[in-house]
Amino acid sequence: MQVTGYAPREVADLRGRAGGALELRYGPDAVVVVGGVPGSGKSTLLRRWDAPAALVDPRLTRLACQARLPAAVPYALYRPAVRTLHLLRTRAAFRRPGPLLVHDCGSRWWMRRALARWARRNGRELHVVLLAVRPAEALAGQRARARTAAPRTFRLHVRRIARLVAGIERRGRAAFPGAASVLLADAASRGRLAGVRFGPRR
């Protein structure tokens, strides 16, 4: 399979655009946020990339906490602690050198601002890959992975991501504070994102 190197700039909208496989290219200390509603394919994409970069993922934090607690303890009891720990881990990851991948839905305005602030303070470029898939496709993705979001939570994510995408369409990357680039992909074009490479710009 032939793969073409591609360095996103400003807003790159791949939705509805056919084409070959792409290897996304970013600077050596770039932070790339992979966002989208639950079931949009964030984890699948990150596994496909298998990039030599640090990764912060809320599910990994949750699993680490679960491993330290008795199985009988319900997640609802320690969910706030998991979320706090994930925020601390994410902030700490920005301080370490080298490329960074961030698994985040992207639907919370305060988290988008926090990511921008941490990137700015640590002299990093912040880039976004937003998987703008249809709700039905995301629900199918949840069923395929056997992990489903609560209906109310899912609807909230869908509304917020729809507003974010609409903002990007109107205002460009300014809709995601601090982003040097935003790449939009739907379910079809998501398959074109074959890999990611971090290194000096040519």
pLDDT for the residue 2: 86
Q: What is the pLDDT of residue 98?
A: 95
pLDDT at residue number 202: 60
- State the average pLDDT over residues 92-98: 96
Is residue 201 scored above 80 in pLDDT?
no
Q: What is the CATH number of domain 3-198?
A: 3.40.50.300
Give domain limits for the chain: 3-198
- Name the token pair of 103: 């698994």
Quick: pLDDT tens for 140-189.
988 888 788 888 999 999 999 999 999 999 999 999 999 999 999 999 99
